[in-house]
């Protein structure tokens, strides 16, 4: 029986897709003028900034990350949007006593900014951000750390996300896994990593848990 639900943040609970794309395009235009278009940055959704920029130019990683974050924070509230069904589903789960946490490759301060903007911050007992771990997803460390803090076992938990990092992190930690079909990369992309479930809407989570909206 599932008692604990772990969520990725970006592209899963909150729609930061446009913010992330524009942050990458802004940064890359500064360092590589005219080289990158919108479709070129889609593969960068999910990996850490260090991973993405490190492959481009190891000597300028920190500088590029600072530029990305400057733009990202300045435009955060303007570009972040909600996904249909998320707030209602999370509210129902909280009322029914499920333990919930967030496991993300974002920094903790930016996670809080997004949650507060979408009024989701009261629902989560635990947040494991990139500044809390030595190894990020798909390594199991962040998932296991969240479960430890929640007092939960992997076999009674599910990890939900929009990227292969989320699904593999859950599998590596021994949890059930679910992909979200509203991922910018699409349902077929997620299906190849064989999650236990693929949700068309966050309310599908209530169905697999055997719960209904109040």
Q: Which of 76, 137, 134 is nearest to 102 (CA)?
A: 137
Two tokens, residue 182: 């509203």
Is 8 a residue of the active site?
yes
Catalytic one among 8, 15, 162, 166?
8
Q: Are 156 and 3 in contact (CB under 8 A)?
A: yes
Give the per-residue SS3 of 110-129: HHHHHHHHCCCHHHCCEEEC
- Give dist(CA 166, CA 124) in Å, integer: 18
Residue whose structure tokens are 């919930």:
100
Two tokens, residue 116: 């507060």
Question: Active-site residues: which are they?
Answer: 8
């Amino acid at each position: 029986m599932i008692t604990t639900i772990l969520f990725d943040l970006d592209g899963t609970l909150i729609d930061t897709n446009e913010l992330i794309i524009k942050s990458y395009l802004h940064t890359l235009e500064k360092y590589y003028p005219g080289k990158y278009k919108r479709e070129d940055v889609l593969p960068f959704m999910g990996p850490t900034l260090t991973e993405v920029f490190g492959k481009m130019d190891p000597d300028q990683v920190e500088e590029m990350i600072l530029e990305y974050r400057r733009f990202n924070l300045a435009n955060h509230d303007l570009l972040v949007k909600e996904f249909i069904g998320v707030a209602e589903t999370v509210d129902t789960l909280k009322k029914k006593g499920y333990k919930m946490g967030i496991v993300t490759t974002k920094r903790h301060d930016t996670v809080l900014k997004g949650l507060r903007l979408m009024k989701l911050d009261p629902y989560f007992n635990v947040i494991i951000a990139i500044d809390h771990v030595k190894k990020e997803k798909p390594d199991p460390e962040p998932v296991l750390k969240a479960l430890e803090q929640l007092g939960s076992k992997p076999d009674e938990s599910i990890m939900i996300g929009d990227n292969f990092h989320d699904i593999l992190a859950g599998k590596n930690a021994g949890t059930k896994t679910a992909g979200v079909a509203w991922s910018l990369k699409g349902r077929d992309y997620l299906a190849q990593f064989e999650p236990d479930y693929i949700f068309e809407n966050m309310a599908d989570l209530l169905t697999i848990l055997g719960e209904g909206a109040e």
